[in-house]
Amino acid sequence: MTDTITISVDAMGGDNAPRAVIHGAHLLLKERKNARFIFHGVQEQIAPLLEEFPALKPASSVRHCDVVIAMDEKPSQALRKGKGTSSMWMAIQAVKDGEADVAISGGNTGALMAMATFCLRPMEGIARPGIAAIWPTLRTDIVVLDMGATIGADAQQLVDYAILGSALARCLFDEKSPTVGLLNVGTEEVKGLESIKEAGRILTEASGAGFTYHGFVEGDDIGKGTVDVVVTEGFVGNIALKTAEGTARQVGRYLSNALKANLMSRIGALFAMSALKALRAKMDPRTLNGGVFMGLNGIVIKSHGGTDEIGYKSALGLAYEMGRNRLIDKISDTMKRFPVKAVPAALATEPEA
């Protein structure tokens, strides 16, 4: 493994940048002493923050960029405006140039995907990149993808996501042969769209090539942790993610209101304080912050733009693990063992307005 892991950071991406970004890096460095950071952004804003965190300064370098991509810019507009000059683009370029192991940004998701795809290009054999999320379950954390990169994926793209997701699970969870399930409206082979059924047939034949195909899974299997990797297309995946986040907040509010309902409830809450703190930590979305852009010739992590330093620390920690465990090598290894001939990678072009 590499002794030093270098993370290229878009310091200007996100609602609370650059302070939350720099503070998050400081928190990660306390736990990962061999982490190094390249911060891209407005030097006049970044330099004073590094002075506030003196332990971080020797592990960091700053690359000045005047151009910052706004959160509401269209991908095509952002690409024309920021290609080669913006903090977001330069963070990705450092990975392409071999200066960094992984790039991270909390900025505009569409712009980040467009720039990452254009700069790094899809891996050979992968039709379209996807976004993977780490999902807490009753059993353990699992991988779910795609979270919104591709709407209406065909059978080959679903197979690609199975390859990518299983490689990520091997990287994060030290699983030699992660279990993979296709999200469907039922577990029976006759149910679902034809693209899902065709992907299931391909994965059944390929099971054992770096993963074990479980079969179809339903929505409640995600929370149960039935499989290590849940594969779906981006429209469904994004809705599932937002629904889960909203449900977590709803349950948290119900619990809080119930514990404050009367005197006996408040007394009971005092006795259960340690358990309640553990539950709050488990349901805190900041602790699993970060979506992994999968299928590119380089690793890019998308942090939630509205998070604080705790969330950025989590996303930077995920970036660190991706670099340390050589995610790209694990994807390449899985693809080499995959028995089905892969389709040529789609050419990365500038997105339409």
Say what the pLDDT of residue 150 is. 82
Residue-level pLDDT at 285: 75
Q: What is the pLDDT of residue 25?
A: 98
pTM of the full predicted structure? 0.86
Give the pLDDT of residue 175.
84
Q: Give the C-alpha separation, 221 to 219, whole Å.
A: 5
Best CA proximity match to 169, nearest among 133, 121, 117:
133
Domain covering 5-127+295-334 assigned CATH 3.40.718.10 in the classification: yes
Dihedral sign (CA 177, 323, 231, 348): negative
All structural domains of the chain with their residue ranges = 5-127+295-334, 130-285
- Specify the pLDDT at position 347: 41
What is the per-residue pLDDT for 47?
A: 96
The CA-to-CA distance between both ends of the chain, in Å, stands at 42
What pLDDT, on a 0 to 100 scale, did the predictor assign at position 339? 66
User: Domain 130-285, CATH 3.90.120.10 — does that match?
Assistant: no
Contact by Cβ (8 Å): 314, 287 = yes
Mean pLDDT by 10 residues, the chain (353 residues): 86 95 97 97 96 96 95 91 94 97 95 95 88 92 91 91 92 89 92 93 89 95 96 93 85 86 86 79 79 94 93 95 87 74 44 46
Show the tokens assigned to 90.
Answer: 């330069």
Return the pLDDT at 344. Answer: 43
| CB atoms near residue 35 (< 10 Å) | 24
What is the structure's pLDDT at 333? 79
